[in-house]
Structure 1
Amino acid sequence: MHPQIILHEVPKISSVQNMIIRSAGVFGNKLAIEDLRQTPIPRLLYVELLTNVLKFGSALKKLGIKRRDHVAIVSENRVQWALSYLTCMCFDFVVCPIDRNLPTNEILNILHESDSVAVIYSDQFETMLSEARPSLKHLKWYVNMDLASRQDHRYSMAELITHSAVCRVEELPKIDPTEMAEIIFTSGSLARAKGVMLSQKNLASNLMAMVSVVLIDQNDRFLSVLPMHHSYECTCGLLCPLYTGASVHYAQSLKTVVEDLQTTHATILLGVPLLYDKMFKRIHKGIQENKMKSLIVPPLLRATNLLSKFGWKASKRIVFHELHERFGGSIRLFITGGAASNPAVASGLQSFGFNMIQGYGLTETSPILALNPVQIHKDNAAGIPLPGVEIKINNPDHLGVGEIWAKGPNIMLGYYKNEKATRDVMENSWFKTGDLGYIDDDGFLHIAGRLKNVIISKRGENVYPEELEDLLLRSQFIQECMVYGEKDPKHGEVIAVQILPDAEAFIALAETENVKITDELMRETLNKEVAKTNKQVSQFKQITKIYIREHEFEKTTTQKVKRYLALKNSGITAE
């Protein structure tokens, strides 16, 4: 642990069940979770959350669902999703959260592969599940979040809760925290997706370690925008605030984030790099398009940076008060994860007085391995290992870069019904992340890229696509890009890039230069941007082929580009 980092005292918990019972007792009549859309259960206080868990769990038991049975959840973010998940944790059902954005065949495949006997779902999935019911023979119970009352084989979640008696806390099953508590299927095609088995001990240990590094308390309000089936949002955006007495507010949609920040006066926003990239670009664009602001803001930034160096850090929030009010006026922390963030965006937001930190982890690690503390952080680093987590760099090269291996109480139990895949990633309790990185002299972990994405140059040098992508994305003319190795008959493997141009930037360019947007203008501009990147890297890393895309890349729910699909799909114009 870095010597300047002071760890916070945190309550000891042994399981998620233990955490929810404790929080209901400590935070009682305080708001726990809230939907900003109209739903059957729009908000719950902490005491009401526990009461509803006890009632819903009792109702599911009465239907015939037993301890250790597998229960799937598929719906958009809402209070009932959180309630269903916590009920499974408290009643010792194994929960299987499903990505609601997956194609129908993949959702059905996960229902089958997870051995779920019940599914809790929103109306959005009613038709799909009804049509597939004859083939889902192992599924015995269908619980609809939106039904007012039971219809045929479909149970109403609201009705089950309303008509159920409340069992006493003492009657809850005794949890073995080391047993499998949930199965999370990683994103990928049917052949690639693996069911990650996590225990309540995995989750509880990660919660305690995270909060000991980054202080979160009952005065905080989280705006939840990321899909809840993902371990990043579920652990950090649901369990973490409930552990600390904070409140969770479910955004109406990604398009209403700014409006929802203003409504809730949220103090913490959990996001992925793409969200903050777009946010920063809009701030930058707003300044550029306003002549007065374009003249005033740069000297103000220089002045407040100087004042911050002399200890007056509040100067930024005071000077850029209007900008902070646009985001609700209460934001104290932007947290980014799920993919590597752009250091320029982090430093840019910080220059306006916003605190922004990033963390690193995987579903298999519950999910956080490393986190940047607020008091001492590095914008270009993933963070320091959490307390109790060991990280080592396996087989480092001459630059110290190697595969990141991790060990700790948050490492998964394995992949569900896939012992071979588990053996492939585990070695003497060390989990092989598949990510490449290095640890600097201050103990901060830096991510170089994915092992499987590395391009080997003709000279045998490693080229990390993510490094080049990071540089390219600093251009206002590039909305998205993907760097990869491409076979060339003359030169072996060369470095290529697919680029999605930023339409708004080209419109602004055309207006400023009084020119028309043509294919030639676009190609010339993007060639110059790639040339700028090439000047910043060694010759063996330089991009030699450029492809212009017409459509956005297909992405995972945490906005990572699905690289394997991008290489297959058409719609790319070659340069």
Structure 2
Amino acid sequence: MRDLGLAPPPVRPLTGGLADSLFETAATDPTLPLLARRPHPSSSTWEEVTAVEVRDEVTAVAKGLIASGISPGHRVAVMARTRYEWTVFSYALWAVGAEVVPIYPTSSRDQVEWILRDAECVAVVVEDEQAIMTVGSVCGTLPRLRHVWQLDAGGLQQLVEAGEFVPFATVESLRRIVLPDSTAAIMYTSGTTGRPLGCALSHRGLASPCDTLLAGWGHTVVPPGERQGSVLAFLPFSHVYGLLVQGLCVRGGLLMGHEPDLSGEALASALRTFRPTYFTAVPSIFEKIYKNFLRTAQQSGRGALFERAADTARDFAAALERHRLGGGPGPGFDLRLQHALYERTVYRKLREALGGRICRATSGGSPLNRELSLFYEGIGIYVNDGYGLTETCGGVTAQPLGREMSGTVGQALPGVDIRVADDGEILVRGPSVFQGYVNNEAATRAALRGGWLATGDLGRLDSDGYLTITGRKKDVIITSSGKSVSPALLEQRLRQHPLVHQAVVVGDNRPCIGALITLDPEFLAFWRDSLAARSDARAREAREENALREEIGRAVAAANSAVSRPESIRVFRVLPEPFDVASGLLTPSMKLRRDAIVRHYEAQIDAMYQARSRMPREHLSDDVAHWDEGDSVFG
């Protein structure tokens, strides 16, 4: 049964649209810094923009939209990276009652055409010349599309100039007639199989998880003694998680900085210069940061020190968790002493690399590995692993303050109900559940069953209401012997190894479970350099191959330790290139397109299993997974 002992107080019911909170903040606290931007990408300084300045810019753009014929209910696409103009434009659209249709800027021509046509968009905002060319190539098939504005060519300024003579009162009259149940956004799913579906999300739906999280957890964003918290927005606003972050910041009066570049170097620079107090990311980002910490330590000859400090951090956090859940006394004297030593020598430096001010963080998009969660808590940054999906406006669960449990996604948010069906599928009911799929009543009926949303995710609820995600219903693998295996845990455990970048578990209608593995390019380069230093040139290639077999074999064995023998990986193959969006093997939100990967690597998968079938029977019972002798990731 769900324990609501720490449920936050009820939030104020929404009476209008999403733009209202911006206008209210501008009226009550006009000088509050609300947004921050860099004058140019390489700048180390950030310009703060106050609430009243943001409101005035939003109003000016809204007037331009009205002058351009954009009316309540019209749908306008935004095809751009996470940047300052995205926020201004979306709030301008909501101020006039229009609907935002986010499109990933990396989307293909066919995807752009499908979304613009399916959503019946009348206009689109793009970022650069490349996007103009993509939209231009499909305009002939889109008779409703009337406007294309390019941000890098002064698109917002053009709108401001066009709306110069539109009265402010016109914007106000349109904003005040927006109802909470009006559609605010059409968010298209990633489309891991088939065409992406457009989820209609209301103003109430998008505001509900924001207001609930701010009421119960908002104070955790602000460091003690400070007035305002800050968040670096770099997750795509084209994904519901990114849109949730934007809503939290604007509705909660948090300072939000925009970072459009997702490269490791750009993100590291933004963290050092913006110095956020709260960090929001997906598990792959947390994994990458950890691996960067480890690689940097090894390069400086402090790898062993880092690993001891990491182990202590995890042990310390696990002891804290047992104590707060009523299962233990907390860290003992020796562990506290060790932790204090590493706090001075290691942990403080790790936090400084992330800006030095982050007090807590949130992970979403997919479950965060428990060991990784404990590591971050142990170094002083608790990561709140939550759960949500596009169809729920991003917010379903959160960790209850004071009773956080790593390895789970926490408990249902107040006002949200969760249950698990007999087949393990998670069902959700609450105010943030979407209105339905655009132009697809059959899909809507299949997803909404008697008021409950069938999420397609698999999980389990414990007696205290903590939810653990175990995988996706459609991803379950059934081997030729009839064994059902959910790949998520195995893939998560494989990625814990520093050399492993991506992992896809396969095995449908096969005699056993297998895996396709890609390597982390940066860690691989460092690993090869360190290996080369210990061998002569002639022996280096053979040594690399043998050593890599052993390393990946250890990663597979570690993953297998978390499952039963019939569920374990018996064969694997290392691929020479990572999966990416351009090849169609990842969605724009970086999720695996499993069907596409299996089709693309069909020959390699067949060869992997054929090699296993040729092995002498005595080797098939070995615990070490098989790697073809001909495999080489170096040549």
TM-score, normalised with respect to structure 2:
0.81
Question: Which of 479, 492, 495 matches 1:473?
Answer: 495
Cα distance, 1:88–1:109 mapped onto 2, change above 3 Å: same
Where does residue 141 of structure 1 map in the other structure?
Answer: 147
Question: Which of 277, 280, 302 matches 2:287?
Answer: 277
Question: Which of 237, 257, 270 matches 1:228?
Answer: 237
Higher strand share: 1
- Deviation per CA, 1:474-508: give whole Å up to 9, x if none: 223322101122333xx4xx211101134525426
- Quick check: 1:126 aligned with 2:129? no
Task: Give the Å deviation of 1:31.
Answer: 1.8
Alignment length (residue pairs): 560
CA distance in 1, matches of 2:380, 2:279: 15
Task: Give the Å deviation of 1:289.
Answer: 3.6
CA distance in 2, matches of 1:429, 1:410: 12
Task: Give the Å deviation of 1:435.
Answer: 0.5
Task: Give the Å deviation of 1:192.
Answer: 2.5
CA distance in 2, matches of 1:317, 1:233: 32
Corresponding residue SS for 1:209: helix
Cα distance, 1:300–1:342 mapped onto 2, change above 3 Å: closer
Cα distance, 1:166–1:208 mapped onto 2, change above 3 Å: same
- Deviation per CA, 1:135-172: give whole Å up to 9, x if none: 3321112222233489xxxx824534667553376423
- Deviation per CA, 1:92-150: give whole Å up to 9, x if none: 11211111111122112211111011112222422333343333321112222233489
CA distance in 2, matches of 1:426, 1:149: 39
Where does residue 559 of structure 1 map in the other structure?
Answer: 590
- Quick check: 1:172 aligned with 2:174? yes
Where does residue 249 of structure 1 map in the other structure?
Answer: 257
Cα distance, 1:264–1:9 mapped onto 2, change above 3 Å: farther
2:598 corresponds to which letter in structure 1?
L
Where does residue 485 of structure 1 map in the other structure?
Answer: 507
Task: Give the Å deviation of 1:232.
Answer: 0.6
Where does residue 46 of structure 1 map in the other structure?
Answer: 51
Where does residue 117 of structure 2 map in the other structure?
Answer: 112
Asked whether the 8 Å contact 1:67–1:92 carries over to 2, the reply is yes
Cα distance, 1:301–1:342 mapped onto 2, change above 3 Å: closer
Asked whether the 8 Å contact 1:272–1:558 carries over to 2, the reply is no
CA distance in 2, matches of 1:389, 1:20: 26
- Deviation per CA, 1:1-45: give whole Å up to 9, x if none: 535525267555333133222222233112212233539x97632
2:185 corresponds to which letter in structure 1?
E
Where does residue 516 of structure 1 map in the other structure?
Answer: 540
- Quick check: 1:361 aligned with 2:388? yes
Identity within the alignment, %? 24
Where does residue 507 of structure 1 map in the other structure?
Answer: 528
Asked whether the 8 Å contact 1:347–1:379 carries over to 2, the reply is yes
1:484 corresponds to which letter in structure 2?
V
Q: Which moved more, 1:78-87 or 1:27-36?
A: 27-36
- Quick check: 1:349 aligned with 2:391? no
Where does residue 570 of structure 2 map in the other structure?
Answer: 544
Task: Give the Å deviation of 1:519.
Answer: 3.9
Asked whether the 8 Å contact 2:81–2:260 carries over to 1, the reply is no
Where does residue 632 of structure 2 map in the other structure?
Answer: none
Asked whether the 8 Å contact 1:54–1:167 carries over to 2, the reply is no
- Quick check: 1:96 aligned with 2:96? no
Where does residue 399 of structure 1 map in the other structure?
Answer: none
Cα distance, 1:523–1:74 mapped onto 2, change above 3 Å: same
CA distance in 2, matches of 1:8, 1:291: 51
Q: Which moved more, 1:326-335 or 1:402-411?
A: 326-335
Q: Which moved more, 1:295-304 or 1:137-146?
A: 295-304
Corresponding residue SS for 1:568: helix
Task: Give the Å deviation of 1:403.
Answer: 0.4
Question: What 5-or-longer segments of structure 2 have no aligned partner?
Answer: 321-329, 581-585, 609-627, 629-635
CA distance in 2, matches of 1:546, 1:214: 43
Where does residue 625 of structure 2 map in the other structure?
Answer: none
Where does residue 64 of structure 2 map in the other structure?
Answer: 59
Cα distance, 1:522–1:103 mapped onto 2, change above 3 Å: same
Cα distance, 1:468–1:145 mapped onto 2, change above 3 Å: same
Cα distance, 1:350–1:57 mapped onto 2, change above 3 Å: same
CA distance in 1, matches of 2:589, 2:549: 30
Cα distance, 1:511–1:348 mapped onto 2, change above 3 Å: farther
Q: Map 1:284-323 to 2 at 5 A.
A: 284-291=294-301, 294-295=304-305, 298=308, 302=312, 305=316, 309=330, 320-323=347-350
Corresponding residue SS for 1:500: strand
Cα distance, 1:198–1:353 mapped onto 2, change above 3 Å: same
2:270 corresponds to which letter in structure 1?
D
Where does residue 383 of structure 1 map in the other structure?
Answer: 410
Question: What 5-or-longer segments of structure 1 have no aligned partner?
Answer: 397-401
Asked whether the 8 Å contact 1:222–1:246 carries over to 2, the reply is yes
1:345 corresponds to which letter in structure 2?
L
CA distance in 1, matches of 2:137, 2:503: 39
1:24 corresponds to which letter in structure 2?
A
CA distance in 1, matches of 2:234, 2:154: 27
- Deviation per CA, 1:41-80: give whole Å up to 9, x if none: 9763211222222221122112222211111111122111
2:145 corresponds to which letter in structure 1?
L
CA distance in 2, matches of 1:563, 1:536: 22
- Deviation per CA, 1:186-219: give whole Å up to 9, x if none: 1127942100001111112121222233224661
Question: Which of 206, 209, 212 matches 1:209?
Answer: 212
Where does residue 600 of structure 2 map in the other structure?
Answer: 569
2:501 corresponds to which letter in structure 1?
Q
Task: Give the Å deviation of 1:260.
Answer: 0.7
Where does residue 323 of structure 2 map in the other structure?
Answer: none
CA distance in 2, matches of 1:292, 1:523: 25
Q: Which moved more, 1:298-307 or 1:315-324?
A: 298-307
Corresponding residue SS for 2:122: strand
CA distance in 2, matches of 1:560, 1:296: 30
CA distance in 1, matches of 2:533, 2:465: 46
Where does residue 526 of structure 1 map in the other structure?
Answer: 552
Asked whether the 8 Å contact 1:425–1:431 carries over to 2, the reply is yes
CA distance in 2, matches of 1:262, 1:101: 27
Asked whether the 8 Å contact 1:96–1:184 carries over to 2, the reply is yes
Corresponding residue SS for 1:325: helix
Q: Map 1:365-444 to 2 at 5 A.
A: 365-396=392-423, 402-444=424-466
Cα distance, 1:443–1:148 mapped onto 2, change above 3 Å: closer
TM-score, normalised with respect to structure 1:
0.89
CA distance in 2, matches of 1:394, 1:342: 24
Where does residue 618 of structure 2 map in the other structure?
Answer: none
CA distance in 1, matches of 2:294, 2:163: 49
CA distance in 2, matches of 1:22, 1:132: 40
